Structure 1
Amino acid sequence: MKIKSVFLVHANGGTFVAFRKTRERLPIKGVYAEHPGTAMGQEGAAARTAWEKEANKQLAERLPTELQNQLLAEGLPYTAPADND
């Protein structure tokens, strides 16, 4: 399959990528791929799991620093809480 031979098909309210199996008008073959929005909306989907893992990691690393920066920018005193783990 060559990328220049694919085209969009609009049918039944949806759109998908297709290519021709022969030189004739029909049959065509649909090429399906999951939309990122669909994967993110499904509990336990690989994309969502990876995103949640990375988001939680970045939140744990960046939140204390960002809070401190904002409080200092507003002129409020900041004392880091004791780690009670």
Structure 2
Amino acid sequence: MRRAVPVVRRACAAWLCGCGGQNHQAAREDVRADLDFETNVRSEVWSIHIGRALGVDPAEVERKVQEVLTENRARMIGSGQPSQ
């Protein structure tokens, strides 16, 4: 019985071969998005565990994160750069 190849592996193969075309470009973008998401989840999980081990208050950290994000958005709007 033939095993199905995961989408990410197929997309990686398309990316590695350097083939052109819109489908391959979309596949590369999908791989990058998947890797970005996985990296973000890993970072979040590690941060939570490290914070707990150090006795850090998650609510205080989240307040600080929101403060920094708000300041950054305001600075970007003031400079005419698009907000992300």
TM-score range, shorter chain: 0.3 to 0.5
Query: Counting strand residues as a fraction of each chain, which structure ranks higher?
Result: 1
Larger RCO (alpha carbons 8 Å, 6+ apart): 2
Decide which structure has the larger Cα Rg and report it. 1
TM-score, reference length from structure 2:
0.33
Query: Counting helix residues as a fraction of each chain, which structure ranks higher?
Result: 2
TM-score, reference length from structure 1:
0.33
